[in-house]
Chains A and B, each alone.
Chain A
Amino acid sequence: MRVVKVSTRYKVTINLVAWTIGVILFIPLLALVMASIRPFAEIVNGWWNFHNAHFTLINYKQVWDAGFWRYILNSLLIATFATILPILIAGMAAYGFTSFSFPVKTLLFLTLVAIQVVPQQAVIVPLLKLFRDLHMYNQYYGIILVHSTFALPWTIFFLRNFFKAIPKDYEEAARIDGLSDVGIYFRVILPIALPAIISVAVVQFIFVWQDLFFALTLLRPDKWPVSAGVTTFISRYNPNWGQLTAAGTLSIIVPILVYVLLQKYYMKGVTGGIKG
């Protein structure tokens, strides 16, 4: 493009606007953390008020002792398995879609595309009955299976688009070497597709970490993840801000860490729907 002269005033203005917005977007997180490390009496006068400020970890200790670590462990367990399982299964199906032609392929594919948008509420009533009959209610593996299944449509779609771009030569060479289709999938395709798989994993992990509806409906409080566990500290009429925000902060450490470390992959996963 031709060189455009940018005036200093324009530069200052646009940076001012952008960074004001940045600060506004950051205030909620700042509020959460600040309120969690100050005594109750000070929060009520405003967490932004630094006159005579004291800092304490007492809120964290109380929340931890109240058993909050349990919710974190539950979240870790559920989110980890509900990330690994669907990737394995979706990857296999996506490879099936790219390397075979079969009679009802179009129909199956259209079904997959449509299922992507099914809300959790659309299945919950029969699912509760099914869970009771199969003794899956309040079992980790029950909610893991449900989350995994809900991840399949978009994951298959996402991975299929990636697999399609892999040159056929790799497959042919492996086939000549005597590998089966399943063997090719695990030994050739998966390693090449690693970036796409990380993208899917990050998006799915954070998504499961956030889920509230299935957690509330399919598990009892002792197996709740943080998204639901944090609500046990809420009281409508006299909120204990210190404990509430400490629990909130503890709930977001893992997903924020995952996001910060794997930001590039997360963005790819989130925008995968438009760029393919």
Chain B
Amino acid sequence: MGGRRWLTKDFFILMTPAFVLLLIFIIYPLLNTFYLSFTHWDGMTQPKFVGISNYREMFHDPLFWTSVKNNLFIFIVFLPLVTLVGLGFAVLLHNKAVFGRNVLRGLVMLGMVMPMTVVGIVWMLLLDPHAGIVNRILEIFGVAPRAWIQDPSTAIYFVILGSLWAWQGFTTTVFLAGLEGLDVEVLEAAWIDGANAWQRFRYVILPLLKPALIVVVTMSAIYILKVFDLIYVLSGGESVPMYLFVLAYMVYYEIFYNFRWGYAAAIATLLTVSVFVFSLGMLKRMISERGVESG
């Protein structure tokens, strides 16, 4: 490799389509969103440059703060939960004493391959005060039935549960792949050294799972920061109740209900920056591991 002449017709035939598309549909709009976040714009007339007015407005917008609060709450509950659940399932499904592991692996992925709107419908049914099985099961433990989704103080758990059911398939699968890639000799050495099960897990397996852990935490963080479908499903054709707003839904709402495209761009920018911040660790690792230079 290395020395081949690149200024050839073939080189450009191979590379041009991809980068033209990326330029038109991602790179240009991404930069443009950043610019538009400093404008007032209804989507029709010319955008008017207004400096940081949109960002200043956010601080006084109760809808914005509700969204941030919801995003944060979902994030803080979901992230450790989905990581631990994934790790636990992976360890369980990696255990050779478990029968039918392939069937179980398939079951884990069910929620992962269907549209989140259908996941939403399923959980609406499960949590329904009358037709839902969750209330019936809780009744056995003496918990009175309630309208989980209709109640503003508990509706957010619907989002967390639905996301958890759907996304644990990803975290479990990534941890499983990590476990399967472990070096048997290292484990054997730890075994011979007399480490017990917990010590082997804590001091040998867990450090070796670090790459998988980074992927899981990063991808889960990105996934949950962008939560949108499960919120949209609750709108029932109208707008979502205000107490359930999240940033991704707010972008949609400001575009299609308020026609404040500049403001929507500002919120989208904020969302994008948070996604990038949480991705940095993983992206850096991808770059160094894959060796950009080695081609």
> Which chain A residues have a beta carbon within 8 Å of chain B's beta carbons?
1-2, 6, 10-11, 14-15, 17-19, 21-22, 25-29, 31-32, 35, 43-48, 89-90, 92-93, 95-102, 105-106, 108-130, 145-146, 148-150, 152-153, 156-157, 161, 164, 168, 180-182, 185, 206, 209-213, 216-217, 226-228, 230-232, 234-237, 239, 241, 244-245, 247-248, 251-252, 255-256, 258-260, 263, 266-267, 270-271, 273-276
A125-B106 contact in complex given A28-B123, A115-B27, C-beta closer than 8 Å: no
- Given A124-B268, A161-B290, A231-B117, 18 other A-B contacts at CB below 8 A? A6-B97, A10-B97, A19-B104, A46-B133, A96-B15, A119-B222, A119-B226, A119-B268, A121-B228, A125-B264, A126-B28, A236-B237, A239-B124, A251-B114, A258-B113, A259-B113, A271-B177, A274-B211
Quick check: A118 and B2 within 8 Å, CB to CB?
Answer: no
Quick check: B32 and A210 within 8 Å, CB to CB?
Answer: no
Minimal Cβ-Cβ distance residue in A for B235: A236
A-B contact pairs, 10 of them (CB 8 A): A29-B110, A46-B136, A117-B283, A119-B268, A121-B271, A125-B265, A150-B25, A164-B295, A180-B10, A251-B117
Number of interface residues of B (CB under 8 A): 112
Minimal Cβ-Cβ distance residue in B for A247: B121
B197 to chain A, nearest CB (A): 11
Quick check: B177 and A106 within 8 Å, CB to CB?
Answer: no
Our pick among A18, A145, A206 for the contact of B113 (Cβ within 8 Å) is A206
| A210 to B18 CA separation, bound complex (whole angstroms) | 23
Quick check: B184 and A1 within 8 Å, CB to CB?
Answer: yes
Chain B residues 71 to 109 lying within 8 A of chain A, measured CB to CB, are 89, 92-93, 95, 97-100, 103-104, 106-109
Minimal Cβ-Cβ distance residue in A for B34: A122
**For chain A, what secondary structure do more than half of its interface residues adopt (helix, strand, loop), or is it mixed?**
helix
Minimal Cβ-Cβ distance residue in A for B21: A149
Quick check: A182 and B10 within 8 Å, CB to CB?
Answer: yes
Quick check: A270 and B174 within 8 Å, CB to CB?
Answer: yes
